[in-house]
Structure formats: structure tokens, C-alpha cells
């Protein structure tokens, strides 16, 4: 007893002492560890996954490709130099690229858009162009991709990139230290083997031969083994504010991190890929300065003062009202406005109906909701006709998208007849339908997108005409996502972002495995004891035995024609099931930029997602001074409002 009390006092005392120490001191890791041995033991414990061979074992009949026939990505007019000023909505919570809080709006600056994978999809031609790889070969029969690394490739701390960094990538992403279950699952199940032939040659094997199996391997980016020597249980804290060496052109210097205020990226002048085809003439700014400005209206004002160089004008209110063509800075030619029609799989904006909820489990109610939501009105009046109606949940995948299926149009009579079939025939005193038990036809329409809250009030007003009531719940982004991941929603408005992929994915969103644990019995009948599975992307709770069979077939298929056929049949089935009301898509992106920001002649790349994704823009520093001086003196230039519709 005495002992306990003594130790308790001691603990209190030490806590007190610790908290007296400087905050910086406490953050310093106490001991430096070296996990090389642990990593090697892990490799040894999984000999099937991690293999070591010699160059002599490399198959000789491989067809090596290097994408050299593709066109350059940047413009040869581009010049290097200058600082670009931009905004962040929030200060990054961490500089880690994996683990808690890492998947934020800052990650594109240190990972997605600025680091190199083995090879990338060419943003104009869709084929692969080399990044870290010098060449690669696909062996479909053995489901293996062979890669030769560019021997010049190096990390930003001048350590060369080798096959070991790719071996280590698997160790890293499979380990529980990183606290990232998605990565653990993906790297644990979607790859079967990595074989090292020498420092610059290796191969990776995947479970099934998909039409885009090259993408599965070539989109991988390595992890610097020398940097993660200290990877351990305290990874999340230890690496919280350490900048991971990058294979890309921009690094973050310690002095440029001003917590809560701003952060800057600096171009590495001797970047290894600076003269390589596909990489030259890109990443032109010497510095990218990002300040934290929370409110969008404030960002706009800052932009108008010239303290921020570019501002996204996707919203109609900004394009037409707040920065109209007769705005004095636009009319004087100081600010240019550009619209670019791109080709890219579209984010799935729509109403995700939770079909496991009472009433919503009724197909007639769901179809009635389709007919009672007036998206066309929203598009015409709120988006001013700029957007298009989305037709299915998988638009924009070329031949993989269903060609003839269209979304259901707003139709009060049809909505009423669907609702009548489900027993809702009488209108209550407020005009909302009630059934014989007195239940009102009322559902919660929730969303984590505050920017669209006005859309919901329009939908609510229109739905009331068809006797349907929406209770609107606008949440902040994180709680909205949590709600829908926990399957606590009735009807939720959201969009899943989609990458540049060959064909749509179905398993994540429509397979019963992601709706329930053991949804069906062996014979295909519904398992009465099934439990809702949370934290998965089947947010419509779609569970169909038939769908499952098609999805499994689709996942295992390596035949393109069969996959297209399956994709169409699945889209049809999903359409009939009616748990997703397709909303709209934006066929372009728009931006406003000061005169000194320059873009290539055609503005951007066909498959780009936003104006700065591929860093093909540059700054004309002389023009900046000229423009600012002209603005002061009242001189004007030719206004420029450009529409680039070559890919429309």
C-alpha cells in the first residue's frame, strides 16, 4: 500500500517535471532506433511474398515498354522561377502521408500531384509514361509486371531510389505501426509477391490478371527505407512533423513551416528528373507559398487584392456574379478567366439512399423518391444550366459506362403513383403523404457538404409537391462522412472522388460484403441474422445475390468484352434497384488567374482534374511587376475570357 502511494507520488512528480520542460524538448524522440533487422526478419518470414533472385533469373522473352512515343506534357514556352501564392483551408495536421489525419487537403502538395510513381497515365493519351521506371514489361500469363528503375532516380536527400525501397514499401504498408487499415488491407490482399533481381530491377505479382493490371503496379510509389529506420509503435508521433524525402521536385524546409499560419514548398534546383521527357517544363515555380485562410469569401478578397494568384470559379455565383466579365479587374485585363472542358470519370454526386431503413427498403418508395427530386430545376436555376444531369453511377468511363440508360426525370404524377403502390395515398393537413397507419412520408436528407445546403432546400420544396418531406441535416465534412460510414443515414448527399481509371469499381459500393456480415445463406436466401457492416462504402446498403455474383465475376475477369457486358448489366440492375439518385456532373473546370500566371496554349491536359494538377503553369515574374504597375497607373490590357472546348 505504502509502496503504491510512493510510486504514485513519484509519477505525479515526474509528470510535473516533464510538463515543466520545454515543449520542443518533449517532442524530440527519446531514442533513435534502427529497424533494419526487423525488416529483414519480416522478409524472411514471408518468403512467398518477398523473393530474391539474380538478373540471370529474369525472363528473356519480355516485351519492354517505356512510353517514349508519347508527347511531352508541359509546354516548351514555360519558364522557371517565381513564387506562387495559394491558400489552404486548414493548416495540415501532419506532414506524414500515411496514417491518422494524413488524408487531408494538403496531401496533394506532398504526395498525389508532386511525387513520382513508377509510371503515370499520360493526361492526354491515357497510356503510361515513365516516372521512376525506365522501362517495364507486363507478363499477363503470370500476372506479373517487371520494372527497371531509372538509375538516376533519387530521393530529395540525394539517396538513390532502389528496389529495396519498393520491398520496404510493402513492409511499411503492411505493418500495423502506420495505423492505416485501408493500406494494410490493400497492400496485404491486392499483391502476391515482389521479387528483387538487382538494385534497379524487380517484379511485382498481383492475384488476378485485370485489363488494367499494369496500372495496379505502375501507380505504386516507393517508401524511403533510410528515412523510416525508426519506424515503430510511435510512428504517428515520431513522424508527425518530419518531411519525408520525395522523388518529386518540391521539398519543405523546416524554416518554412509556420504552424497554423503558412507553409511553403521549395523547388529542388538539381532535381534528378528536371530534364527528362514528360517532366521538363513542369513544376516551374521556385516556391509554392500556402497561407491558411479559412473563409472562401475572404480568399476571394485576397485574390482580388493580388495576394493570391489563382481562384477556382467553379461555382456559378463566383463565375457570373462575384467575378463577372465586366468586373473592373477582368475588363482591364489584369485577371484572366478560363473555362476548360476536361474528360475524366465524374465524381458520383447524388442521393445515396440507405435501403436497409424502414420504408426505404421498399423499391416503390425509392423509385418515387427518384421521381420526386427535381435535379433539373437545381441544374437550371441554381447552377444556371452549366452542369449536366448525371445518368448512372458510373458515367465517364467510355465504353464501360452504360450508353443508353438515363436517370429518371422529375414527375409528380409518377412519384405519386409509386408512393400509392407503397400505401401512401392520402395527403395530410400539410400536404405530405400519410399511409393508413398514420406514418408520414418523411426522411432525413443529410450531407456533409455545406456548400450545397441551398440545393437541399430547393429539393425539399419540390419534393413537397409530390407529398414527400425531407428533413434537412447539414453537417460538417467529418461528421457527415462518419454518419454515412456508420450507415446511420436515411438519404445522404455525397460524391465519391474517382481517379483516372479504365473501368468503374462495383465491389466497394454494391457488394453485399460491404453491407452486411454474411448477407446470404449458401442457397442465396437472405440470412436472417445478418448484421450491418459499418465503415465501408456500400452506403446504399445494396445486397443482391445476383449483383454479388456479377461483381465477383467482374473482379475475376480478364476479358475486356466480358467486363463491359457485366458493367452494363450491373449498372442496369443498380438502376432498377433505385438506391442512387444521380444528381449532376460538372463537365469542365473554371478558374480565374492574374495575368502573370501562364498556361500552355491549349490551357491544360485532356484528362486533368483541375488546372494545377499537372503543374504545367508557370509565372512570368516580369509580367507581374508590369501588371501591378499598370494597375496602379490605371493602364489597361485586352481582357481575356477563354473557353477551351477542344475536348468537350
Radius of gyration of the chain (CA): 27
**Interface pick for other proteins out of 467, 504, 582, 592 (rule CB under 8 A):** 467
How far are the Cα atoms of 42, 526, 593 from residue 330, in angstroms, in the given order?
60, 62, 10
Nearer to other proteins, 470 or 503 (CB): 470
β-bridge mates for residue 158, sequence order: none
Q: What is the DSSP letter of 532?
A: E
Q: Is 458 in the site for other proteins (CB under 8 A)?
A: yes
Closest CB 457 distance from other proteins, rounded Å:
4
Distance CA 204, CA 143 (A): 9
**Interface pick for other proteins out of 444, 485, 610, 636 (rule CB under 8 A):** 444
Closest CB 366 distance from other proteins, rounded Å:
19
Among the candidate windows 116-124, 173-181, 379-387, 552-560, which touches other proteins by CB under 8 A? 379-387
Q: Is 486 in the site for other proteins (CB under 8 A)?
A: no
Q: Is 497 in the site for other proteins (CB under 8 A)?
A: no
**Interface pick for other proteins out of 479, 535, 642, 646 (rule CB under 8 A):** 479
Closest CB 301 distance from other proteins, rounded Å:
8
Among the candidate windows 336-344, 377-385, 526-534, 581-589, which touches other proteins by CB under 8 A? 377-385
b/e burial code for range 95-111 (CB count within 10 A of at least 16 → b): bbbbbeebeeebbebbb
Count the site residues for other proteins by CB under 8 A: 40
Nearer to other proteins, 100 or 431 (CB): 431
| Residues of span 98-137 touching other proteins by CB under 8 A | none
Closest CB 75 distance from other proteins, rounded Å:
35
* Numbers of helices and strands, H then E, in the chain: 20, 29
Nearer to other proteins, 43 or 493 (CB): 493
Closest CB 317 distance from other proteins, rounded Å:
7
Nearer to other proteins, 63 or 450 (CB): 450
Q: Is 562 in the site for other proteins (CB under 8 A)?
A: no
Distance CA 601, CA 307 (A): 25
Q: Is 477 in the site for other proteins (CB under 8 A)?
A: no
Nearer to other proteins, 57 or 317 (CB): 317
β-bridge mates for residue 257, sequence order: 263
Among the candidate windows 75-83, 395-403, 473-481, 538-546, which touches other proteins by CB under 8 A? 473-481
Phi/psi zone of residue 331: left (φ > 0), alpha (ψ -120 to 50 degrees), beta? alpha
| Residues of span 406-425 touching other proteins by CB under 8 A | 412, 416
SS3 of 431-447: CCEECCCCCECEEEEEE
| Residues of span 288-347 touching other proteins by CB under 8 A | 295-297, 317, 320-322
Instruction: Name the strand (E) or helix (H) holding 618.
Output: strand 618-619
Closest by Cα among 118, 141, 138, 146 to 203: 146
Distance CA 254, CA 604 (A): 33
Nearer to other proteins, 321 or 518 (CB): 321
Closest CB 484 distance from other proteins, rounded Å:
13
Q: Is 453 in the site for other proteins (CB under 8 A)?
A: yes
β-bridge mates for residue 338, sequence order: 591, 642
Residue listed under C-alpha cell 519543405: 252
How far are the Cα atoms of 102, 315, 318, 636, 639 from residue 321, in angstroms, in the given order?
36, 10, 6, 22, 17
User: Which is it for strands 335-341 and 641-644: parallel, antiparallel or unpaired?
Assistant: parallel
Distance CA 639, CA 324 (A): 12
| Residues of span 380-399 touching other proteins by CB under 8 A | 380-382, 384
**Interface pick for other proteins out of 212, 461, 562, 625 (rule CB under 8 A):** 461
Nearer to other proteins, 161 or 323 (CB): 323
Cell reading at 226: 533510410
Closest CB 453 distance from other proteins, rounded Å:
6
Closest by Cα among 337, 335, 338 to 630: 335
Nearer to other proteins, 300 or 510 (CB): 300
Distance CA 440, CA 156 (A): 62
Phi/psi zone of residue 398: left (φ > 0), alpha (ψ -120 to 50 degrees), beta? left
b/e burial code for range 179-196 (CB count within 10 A of at least 16 → b): bbeebeeebeeebebbbb
Nearer to other proteins, 53 or 465 (CB): 465
Q: What binding mask, one character per residue, do residues 64-103 give for other proteins by CB under 8 A, x or -?
A: ----------------------------------------
Nearer to other proteins, 253 or 453 (CB): 453
Task: Give the binding site for other proteins (CB under 8 A).
Answer: 295-297, 317, 320-322, 380-382, 384, 412, 416, 427-431, 444, 446, 450, 453-454, 456-458, 460-461, 464-467, 471-476, 479, 490
Amino acid at each position: 500500500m505504502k509502496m503504491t502511494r510512493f510510486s504514485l507520488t513519484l509519477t505525479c512528480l515526474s509528470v510535473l517535471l516533464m510538463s515543466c520542460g520545454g515543449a520542443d524538448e518533449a517532442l524530440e524522440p527519446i531514442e533513435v532506433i534502427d529497424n533494419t533487422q526487423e525488416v529483414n526478419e519480416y522478409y524472411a518470414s514471408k518468403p512467398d511474398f518477398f523473393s530474391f533472385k539474380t538478373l540471370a533469373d529474369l525472363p528473356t522473352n519480355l516485351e519492354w515498354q517505356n512510353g517514349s512515343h508519347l508527347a511531352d506534357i508541359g509546354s516548351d514556352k514555360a519558364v522557371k522561377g517565381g513564387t506562387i501564392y495559394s491558400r489552404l483551408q486548414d493548416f495540415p495536421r501532419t506532414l506524414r502521408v500515411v496514417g491518422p489525419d494524413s488524408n487531408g487537403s494538403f496531401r496533394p502538395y506532398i504526395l498525389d500531384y508532386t511525387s513520382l510513381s513508377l509510371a503515370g497515365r499520360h493526361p492526354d493519351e491515357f497510356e503510361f509514361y515513365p516516372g521512376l521506371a525506365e522501362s517495364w514489361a507486363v507478363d499477363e500469363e503470370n500476372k506479373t509486371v517487371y520494372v527497371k528503375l531509372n538509375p538516376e532516380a533519387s530521393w530529395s536527400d540525394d539517396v538513390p531510389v532502389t528496389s529495396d525501397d519498393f520491398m520496404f514499401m510493402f513492409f511499411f504498408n503492411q505493418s500495423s505501426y502506420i495505423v492505416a487499415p485501408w493500406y494494410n488491407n490493400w497492400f496485404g490482399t491486392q499483391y502476391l509477391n515482389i521479387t528483387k533481381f538487382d538494385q534497379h530491377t524487380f517484379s511485382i505479382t498481383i492475384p488476378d490478371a485485370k485489363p488494367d493490371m499494369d496500372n495496379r503496379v505502375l501507380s505504386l510509389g516507393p517508401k524511403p527505407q533510410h528515412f523510416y529506420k525508426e519506424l515503430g509503435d510511435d510512428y504517428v508521433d515520431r513522424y508527425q512533423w518530419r518531411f519525408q524525402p520525395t522523388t518529386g521536385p518540391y521539398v519543405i524546409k523546416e524554416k518554412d513551416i509556420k504552424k497554423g499560419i503558412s507553409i511553403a514548398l521549395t523547388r529542388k534546383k538539381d532535381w534528378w528528373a528536371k530534364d527528362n521527357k514528360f517532366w521538363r517544363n513542369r513544376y516551374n515555380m521556385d516556391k509554392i507559398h500556402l497561407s491558411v485562410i479559412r473563409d472562401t469569401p475572404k480568399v476571394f478578397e485576397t485574390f482580388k487584392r493580388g495576394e493570391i494568384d489563382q481562384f477556382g470559379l467553379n461555382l456559378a455565383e463566383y463565375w457570373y456574379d462575384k467575378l463577372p466579365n465586366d468586373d473592373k479587374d477582368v475588363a482591364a485585363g489584369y485577371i484572366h478567366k478560363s473555362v476548360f472542358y476536361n474528360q475524366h470519370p465524374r465524381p458520383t454526386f447524388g442521393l445515396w439512399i440507405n435501403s436497409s431503413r424502414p420504408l426505404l427498403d421498399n423499391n416503390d418508395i425509392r423509385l418515387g423518391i427518384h421521381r420526386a427530386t427535381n435535379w433539373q430545376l437545381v441544374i437550371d436555376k441554381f447552377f444556371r444550366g452549366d452542369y449536366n444531369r448525371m445518368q448512372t453511377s458510373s458515367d465517364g468511363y467510355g465504353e464501360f459506362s452504360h450508353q443508353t440508360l438515363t436517370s429518371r426525370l422529375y414527375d409528380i404524377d409518377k412519384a405519386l403513383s409509386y408512393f400509392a403502390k407503397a400505401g401512401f395515398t392520402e395527403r395530410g393537413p400539410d400536404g405530405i403523404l400519410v399511409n393508413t397507419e398514420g406514418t408520414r412520408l418523411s426522411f432525413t436528407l443529410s450531407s456533409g457538404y455545406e456548400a450545397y445546403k441551398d440545393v437541399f432546400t430547393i429539393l425539399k420544396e419540390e419534393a413537397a409537391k409530390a407529398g414527400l418531406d425531407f428533413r434537412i441535416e447539414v453537417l460538417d465534412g467529418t461528421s457527415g462522412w462518419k454518419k454515412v460510414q456508420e450507415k446511420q443515414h436515411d438519404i445522404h448527399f455525397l460524391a465519391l472522388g474517382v481517379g483516372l481509371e479504365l473501368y468503374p469499381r462495383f465491389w466497394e459500393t454494391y457488394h453485399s460484403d460491404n453491407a452486411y456480415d454474411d448477407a446470404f445463406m449458401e442457397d442465396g436466401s437472405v440470412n436472417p441474422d445478418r448484421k450491418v457492416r459499418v465503415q465501408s462504402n456500400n452506403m446504399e446498403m445494396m445486397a443482391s445475390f445476383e449483383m454479388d455474383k456479377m461483381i465477383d465475376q467482374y473482379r475475376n475477369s480478364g476479358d475486356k468484352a466480358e467486363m463491359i457486358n457485366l458493367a452494363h448489366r450491373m449498372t442496369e440492375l443498380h438502376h432498377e434497384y433505385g438506391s442512387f439518385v444521380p444528381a449532376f456532373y460538372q463537365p469542365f473546370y473554371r478558374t480565374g488567374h492574374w495575368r502573370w500566371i501562364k498556361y500552355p496554349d491549349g490551357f491544360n491536359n485532356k484528362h486533368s482534374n483541375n488546372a494545377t494538377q499537372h503543374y504545367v503553369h508557370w509565372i512570368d515574374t516580369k509580367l507581374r511587376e508590369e501588371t501591378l504597375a499598370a494597375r496602379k497607373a490605371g493602364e489597361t490590357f485586352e481582357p481575356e475570357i477563354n473557353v477551351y472546348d477542344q475536348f468537350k
